[in-house]
Chains A and B, each alone.
Chain A
Amino acid sequence: MDAEQRSPGGAPLTASAVMRFLAELEQASAEWYRALAAAFPEKSALLQRCASLCARNGVQVQRTYQETITDALETNFAFEGLDLRPYGELPGAVPGTLGEAQRAAVALEERAAACYEDVAGRSARLLATIPRVLQRAAEARRRNASSLALLQ
């Protein structure tokens, strides 16, 4: 994923940078799940569902950002202290076994959920709508992680 994921001089990341990071995270996650679904057709339904959920998360977060950006600006929306680097790692190639795939997927979901919770927590001070949607995205990712137990 693109983005240095931290502002120079430690200044708060802009809303634009954070939202693009999240959109890219969801897009990359969805693509990875589709690749998994192709590699493990016996679990395709579950993996496609995960892919759809990631895609929906991405759309929802982006939509919310665009629809509330005026409130955000007018109440000084800032992600002070946010460092996205720990959340930037994505699973690479499709694993060879379902067991490896499950471990990688659960790790991805937990990382994504933690990312959403981190961002939501740092934006909760002055604004309600965006953190609420981010929390929902985190919950969705945690649900994904639970359902991935069925992979094996």
Chain B
Amino acid sequence: MAVLSEPIQEPRVLENHIDGYWEPSEGPLRDVVNPAKLTVIGQVPLSTEAELDRAVQAAQAAFDDWRRTPPLARARCLLRLRDLMETHFEELSRIQTQEHGKTIDESRGETRRGIEMVEVAAGIPSLMMGTNLEDVAAGIDEFLIRQPLGVFGIIGPYNFPFMVPLWFAPFAVATGNCVVIKPSSEDPFSQVRVAELAEEAGIPPGVWNVVHGGREVVGAMLDHPDIVGICFVGSTPVAKGVVYPRCGATGKRVIAQGGAKNFALVMPDADLPHTIAACMTSFFGNAGQRCLANSNLVVVGEGLSEQELDERYQAIAEAFVAAARGITMGYGLDEAVQMGPLRDPGKKQGVVRHIEGALEQGATLLLDGREFNLLGDLPPDAFLGPTVLGDVTPDMAVAQQEVFGPVASLMRARSMDEAIAMIHANPFGNAASIFTNNGLWARKFRYEVRCGNIGINIGIAAPMAFFPFSGMKDSFLGVLHGQGEDVIRFFTESKIVIERWF
């Protein structure tokens, strides 16, 4: 089986992209490590507040011209960016695998999702249209106009280094705003390449800026008086405890997407082969580092006796473990590999602590991912195999907290109401799935469950670019979501004009 070539051949020091120029930072450098091989592929600067400020000032200076650029001309820039992304599709995908560790199929999927954002944003001449009504009173007409606001900050997570900033940036730029993107310092290469392509596509200097960094840059973005809004995707403690309140304090618009703990209900009539297949990618895709990943599988015994529920649970557990055991692990550029490492050894240790805690609290170990085989001669430090925990109860920490790793918790519920109550008792509300052939159960689930993204016989309920990426409870802080119509409204002010002529 082929191992694909790596696009990043020589380690290099990354630079900030400010006002159309690539500039070295004066801040300290941090290694960027390929987690599968533990090799250093580059260094990223932890930029200074002054550098962030220069990027914001450049964006602010570019805003006036850019907002006056006709939407069709802005759309053409995005269409050129889209074409360049298609041309460099494979390179962009392999960069993600090299810097993050995900498999090449997963990276190509991420590239596609990112491109779809640019494609949808390129429809801005239609998407941004306002509304009007004549004769709201005799001879008086009223108009709603959508206008851009200025400079937005975009703070990306490590789990989708290419796609997530593109949930926002193309829409922000399409609506006439300027952006400063801070990629994750763990895997910043993807956004560097995107910015290079944005520049090549003709997006003017100052409109699309990239400033690398850590907490200091994030803090500076949150406090900066010339940044009018923040788009953040990361953990709930940061979203809820830092980003949301500080945006409130400084009067910024905010989209703060946090963590998740997603449940999958398997009803008694669910088609088992389809369900198990869908669960494999949902629970273990991207090594479980996905906010839409399911992590609690609830076998629901609606209408079943205790014994029937127990038999159903055993059958599902056996099928689940058998499928998970067959997942091949290794370097994502090896085409035989189905699951890559976690982003770094420290994250693996965090997930292992969750597993150990679950076992201490009484869960049973159906499949131990701490013991694994790797394809190829690789350091095992960041790898963790699929882990399946049985007899998990809702009170266990592993059932309540975000694990963000390849760990599945199998649970039981005697009824659908009991299962939905489990979901509602959890502080998160990002996504939930149900597997069933019963329309009434499916409707009840869709109607009642307080989660932003619902999957019906779908393991990963990932909204397309033209729908909002929803989220509720501790998974989302804000009002308007990323993507779709929501994000157009987020990036524009609704101005009302009431007009009368004498």
- Residue with the highest number of chain B CB atoms closer than 10 Å, among A4, A17, A125: A17
A70 within 8 A of B: yes
CB pair B327–A11 under 8 Å, yes or no, is yes
Instruction: Tell me which of B109, B116, B336, B459 contacts A17 (CB under 8 A).
Output: B336
Report the Cα distance A127→B337, complex, angstroms: 21
A72-B109 contact, Cβ under 8 Å, with A2-B2, A7-B336, A17-B336: yes
Render A15-43 as a binary contact track against B, CB cut-off 8 A, 1 for contact.
Answer: 11100100000000000000000000000
CB pair B281–A11 under 8 Å, yes or no, is no
A20-B2 contact, Cβ under 8 Å, with A73-B281, A74-B281, A126-B277: yes
Render A60-93 as a binary contact track against B, CB cut-off 8 A, 1 for contact.
Answer: 0000001101101111111000000000000000
Please provide the chain B residues from 271 to 288 with a CB less than 8 Å away from any CB of chain A in the complex: 273-274, 277-282, 285
CB pair A8–B108 under 8 Å, yes or no, is no
Chain B residues in 8 Å Cβ range of A77 = 105
Return the chain B residue nearest A10 by Cβ: B326
Shortest CB distance A134–B (Å): 17
CB pair A74–B459 under 8 Å, yes or no, is yes
B84 within 8 A of A: no
CB pair B328–A70 under 8 Å, yes or no, is no
Chain A residues in 8 Å Cβ range of B273 = 125
A126-B335 contact, Cβ under 8 Å, with A4-B1, A73-B109: no
Chain B residues in 8 Å Cβ range of A67 = 112
Chain A residues in 8 Å Cβ range of B460 = 73-74
CB pair A73–B326 under 8 Å, yes or no, is no
Chain A residues in 8 Å Cβ range of B40 = none
Count of inter-chain pairs, beta carbons less than 8 A = 90
Instruction: Tell me which of B113, B116, B285, B326 contacts A11 (CB under 8 A).
Output: B326
CB pair A9–B2 under 8 Å, yes or no, is no
Report the Cα distance A99→B113, complex, angstroms: 49
Shortest CB distance A78–B (Å): 7
Please provide the chain A residues from 111 to 133 with a CB less than 8 Å away from any CB of chain B in the complex: 125-126
Report the Cα distance A17→B108, complex, angstroms: 13
Chain A residues in 8 Å Cβ range of B326 = 9-12
Chain A residues in 8 Å Cβ range of B282 = 76
Instruction: Tell me which of A3, A76, A125, A126 contacts B1 (CB under 8 A).
Output: A3
CB pair B112–A70 under 8 Å, yes or no, is yes
Shortest CB distance B107–A (Å): 9
Report the Cα distance A3→B375, complex, angstroms: 15
Report the Cα distance A74→B106, complex, angstroms: 10
CB pair A69–B274 under 8 Å, yes or no, is no
CB pair A66–B108 under 8 Å, yes or no, is yes
Q: For the side of the interface on A, what is the size category?
A: 20 to 34
Shortest CB distance B130–A (Å): 32
CB pair A126–B278 under 8 Å, yes or no, is yes
B262 within 8 A of A: no
B103 within 8 A of A: yes
Return the chain A residue nearest B460 by Cβ: A74
Chain B residues in 8 Å Cβ range of A146 = none
Size of the B side of the interface (Cβ < 8 Å), in residues, is 33
Report the Cα distance A10→B375, complex, angstroms: 13
Chain B residues in 8 Å Cβ range of A17 = 1-2, 335-336
B458 within 8 A of A: yes
A147 within 8 A of B: no
- Residue with the highest number of chain A CB atoms closer than 10 Å, among B105, B106, B460: B105
Render B376-389 as a binary contact track against A, CB cut-off 8 A, 1 for contact.
Answer: 00000000000000
Please provide the chain B residues from 308 to 349 with a CB less than 8 Å away from any CB of chain A in the complex: 326-328, 335-338
CB pair B285–A73 under 8 Å, yes or no, is yes
Report the Cα distance A17→B335, complex, angstroms: 5
Please provide the chain B residues from 436 to 465 with a CB less than 8 Å away from any CB of chain A in the complex: 458-460, 462
Chain A residues in 8 Å Cβ range of B222 = none
Shortest CB distance B463–A (Å): 11
Instruction: Tell me which of A8, A15, A126 contacts B105 (CB under 8 A).
Output: A15
CB pair A14–B337 under 8 Å, yes or no, is yes
Return the chain B residue nearest A24 by Cβ: B2
CB pair A8–B328 under 8 Å, yes or no, is yes
Chain A residues in 8 Å Cβ range of B351 = none
Chain A residues in 8 Å Cβ range of B104 = 14, 16
A3-B2 contact, Cβ under 8 Å, with A67-B112, A70-B113, A76-B278: yes
B466 within 8 A of A: no
Shortest CB distance B282–A (Å): 8
Instruction: Tell me which of A3, A66, A74 contacts B89 (CB under 8 A).
Output: A66
Shortest CB distance A149–B (Å): 36
Shortest CB distance B205–A (Å): 31
CB pair B458–A75 under 8 Å, yes or no, is yes
Render B225-253 as a binary contact track against A, CB cut-off 8 A, 1 for contact.
Answer: 00000000000000000000000000000
A14-B281 contact, Cβ under 8 Å, with A70-B109, A70-B112: no
Report the Cα distance A134→B285, complex, angstroms: 25
CB pair A74–B462 under 8 Å, yes or no, is yes
| A to B CB contacts below 8 Å, 20 in the list | A2-B2, A4-B336, A7-B1, A9-B328, A12-B338, A14-B104, A14-B105, A14-B337, A66-B89, A70-B109, A70-B462, A74-B460, A74-B462, A75-B281, A75-B459, A76-B279, A76-B280, A76-B281, A125-B277, A126-B274
- Known: A4-B336, A17-B1; 14 extra A-B contacts, CB below 8 A, are A3-B1, A3-B2, A4-B1, A8-B336, A9-B326, A11-B328, A14-B336, A14-B338, A16-B108, A16-B335, A66-B89, A73-B105, A73-B281, A126-B274
Chain A positions within 8 Å of B, measured between CB atoms, are 2-4, 7-17, 20, 66-67, 69-70, 72-78, 125-126
Q: Which 4 residue pairs of A and B lie closest in terms of their CB atoms, listed nearest first? A: A17-B335, A76-B281, A76-B277, A73-B109
